[in-house]
Amino acid sequence: MTREKPKNLWLSRWGFILAATGSAVGLGNIWKFPYITGEYGGGAFVLMYLACILAIGIPVMMTEIAIGRRGRGSPIDAIGRVVRENGGNPLWKAVGGMAMLAGFMILCFYVVVAGWAFAYTWKMLDGSLAATSVEALGGVFETHNANPWQLGGWSVLVALLTLWIVAKGVQKGIENAVRWMMPGLALMLIALVGYAFTSGSFSAGFGFLFHFDASKITGEALLAALGHAFFTLSLASGAILTYGSYIPDGQSIARTTFIVALCDTCVALLAGLAIFPIIFANGMSPSAGPGLIFMSLPLAFQQMPFGTAFGVLFFAMVSIAALTSAISMIEASVAYLNEKHGISRLRAAIGAGAVLLVISLLAMLSFNLLAGWTPLGKNFFDWLDYLTSRWMMPLGGIFMVLLAGYALRGEIMRDELGLPPAGYALWLFMVRYVSPVLIMVVFLHALGWLMFDPIAQWYWIAGAIGLLAVAGEVLRPRVMPVLTGR
């Protein structure tokens, strides 16, 4: 079968690395990862997290990039072409469809969250955050969300900026944007770490993040590491698979994946080094949840020399991180409309944007006019988050590794990955046996259905991996025709 010719390509390997890192780096890296690192044991958690990145993040990311480059298209088209090359069941395209839908649904509520960062950049400038207590700043945050015009205006701004960049194309739009946004984000982050170094509590912040305490290696910490490792790299959302379809042939997928994972982790740790010394220097608690960024930090900046300038710099950095993630979430949908249906990128972006604006406005109204509408105990914003993070993405990840590990002929992924025999054997073992079990653990934990402690009762995970390995080798000849359709 003749391989699909690429319609779009990154100008360089760094174009993909910057775009993929931008997709991975978001509000979760700048707030959640530093916080859960300190909460779950600092250095002990970092080691668990890195192990989970190796066990889930890198194998699944390599899989998505390889399928994207092999199929050269949106998730639906790329998986469809690879399956056709394999002579397999076309129903596998549904996995791509679910990934695209998950990414789009995430974006529908993410633009609201990103709007907070954009709004707070302005609020730092105009003095709206000149409060004297965390409680007062909490009132500013609630007032902002209660005003549908204000909250909606910032959300629409994020959506329009995202669509404008994507409409310009892969090279002129996305790659050009990340070429200045990601280095700009890195410079801002380094400047903030330098500012935190002068706070007088840098050693306390460093210790909070990196102090190793073996007693902190617990089942709860491992579950937090597993969950964050899976979600942080934008897996099973269509973003990485679509970005992978733009990688030129001949570039090492494994090397590129490791660089992206390393950059993502470094950004998260540097964010912690920027945030926590400032928090400790002002006698605040690092366990303030979302309020850490929107309530505690603004107050801390006000109490420090040049705090307003660095507060603006901080929220500008968060805004850039949010925008690079937003770009990746809608690219799969725009690529699908452009490539499959022949719609120009501009019209595809306008069409996808129209749907995005309607759904995102409903998510925004969950904080004010529709706050009382809570079907089955959740508002519209919460339902988007719940369905994507707890159901669609874990299931998408499981189906993706089943496709690559079982349904596709070995030579397809071997040729695309270009790994030496030992490297390919390791990737195949992880994708067939380790990653599915660990993703299932993430899935069951997210739903509250996990009935054991993964550290104290580690043998359940080891047994599941062993059982899957044995069953896979014994039953694969019988199961393969069902999975492949041949």
C-alpha–C-alpha distance, residues 326 and 315, integer Å:
16
What is the model's pLDDT at position 475?
62
Q: How many residues comprise the chain?
A: 486
Question: Residue 473 burial (CB < 10 Å; 0-12/13-18/19+)?
Answer: exposed
Query: How many of the other CB atoms lie within 10 Å of CB of 415?
Result: 11
What is the model's pLDDT at position 254?
96
Question: Residue 408 burial (CB < 10 Å; 0-12/13-18/19+)?
Answer: buried
Domains along the chain with CATH numbers: 11-423 (1.10.4160.10)
Give how far the C-alpha of residue 157 lies from the chain's centroid of Cα atoms, to the nearest Å. 21
User: Facing residues of 212 across strands?
Assistant: 42
C-alpha–C-alpha distance, residues 44 and 49, integer Å:
9
Give Cα separations from 29 to 78, 144, 270, 452 (angstroms).
Answer: 29, 24, 10, 28
Record the tokens describing residue 348, joined without a space.
């595809």
Please give the DSSP secondary-structure letter assigned to residue 295.
I
Please give the DSSP secondary-structure letter assigned to residue 403.
I
> Is 343:351 a contact under the CB 8 Å cutoff?
yes
Pick from 213, 243, 223, 293: nearest CA to 26: 293
What is the model's pLDDT at position 479?
59
Where would I find the H helices in 341-392? 345-365, 380-387
C-alpha–C-alpha distance, residues 483 and 409, integer Å:
11
Predicted structure pTM score: 0.93
C-alpha–C-alpha distance, residues 235 and 231, integer Å:
6
Record the tokens describing residue 49, joined without a space.
């997290």
Query: How many of the other CB atoms lie within 10 Å of CB of 357?
Result: 18
C-alpha–C-alpha distance, residues 192 and 96, integer Å:
39
Task: Give one word for 147, left, alpha or beta, with left for phi > 0 and alpha for psi -120 to 50.
Answer: beta
Query: How many of the other CB atoms lie within 10 Å of CB of 394?
Result: 25
What is the model's pLDDT at position 290?
63
- 3 state SS of 42: strand
Query: How many of the other CB atoms lie within 10 Å of CB of 410?
Result: 10
- 3 state SS of 212: strand
- 3 state SS of 351: helix
Please report, in tens digits, the pLDDT of each residue of the chain (486 residues total).
566 777 789 988 899 999 999 999 887 788 788 878 888 878 889 899 999 999 999 999 999 999 999 999 999 999 999 999 988 888 999 999 999 999 999 999 999 999 999 999 999 999 888 877 888 988 999 999 999 999 999 999 999 999 999 999 999 999 999 999 999 999 999 999 999 998 888 999 899 888 888 888 899 999 999 999 888 899 999 999 999 999 999 899 999 999 999 999 999 999 999 988 988 888 887 766 667 788 888 988 888 888 899 999 999 999 999 999 999 999 999 999 998 888 999 999 999 999 999 999 999 999 999 999 999 999 999 999 999 999 999 999 999 999 999 889 889 999 999 999 999 999 999 999 999 999 999 999 999 999 999 999 999 999 999 988 887 776 666 656 655 555
Give Cα separations from 200 to 194, 203, 205, 285, 302 (angstroms).
Answer: 12, 8, 10, 16, 16
Give how far the C-alpha of residue 443 lies from the chain's centroid of Cα atoms, to the nearest Å. 16
CA dihedral (227, 231, 237, 241) in degrees, to 10, reads -110
